[in-house]
């Protein structure tokens, strides 16, 4: 019985006098906290923001061109192709 074990039911160690002595070592799995992955990468978010900015600029330029060509022409909307 070991003195520092602190268990109520202590086991007596038995060492063989003949034969091979071995010890089984079990590899226990250490569970870690799951890592949260972003749904979108930072690069993808930057690309989407750049694309949105480019679309907004294109819309503004189209609106400015329409205003310069004539204010509220009857056939101006019908002749313009729908890009979006």
Q: Round to whole Å and give the CA distance between 1 and 20.
A: 23
List the pLDDT tens digit at each of the 84 positions of the chain: 445 555 557 878 777 778 776 777 777 788 888 888 888 888 999 999 999 999 999 999 999 999 888 765 555 555 566 676
In a 3-state reduction of DSSP, which class is residue 69? helix
Q: Tokens 């039911």 sit at which residue?
A: 9
Look up residue 72 and give its DSSP letter.
T
CB 12 within 8 A of CB 1: yes
Q: pTM (2 decimals)? A: 0.40
């Amino acid at each position: 019985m070991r003195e520092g074990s602190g268990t109520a039911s202590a086991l007596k160690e038995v060492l063989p006098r003949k034969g091979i002595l071995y010890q089984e070592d079990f590899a226990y799995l250490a569970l870690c906290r799951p890592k949260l992955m972003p749904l979108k990468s930072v690069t993808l978010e930057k690309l989407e923001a750049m694309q949105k900015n480019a679309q907004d600029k294109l819309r503004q330029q189209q609106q400015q061109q329409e205003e310069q060509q004539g204010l509220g022409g009857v056939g101006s909307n019908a002749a313009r192709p729908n890009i979006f």
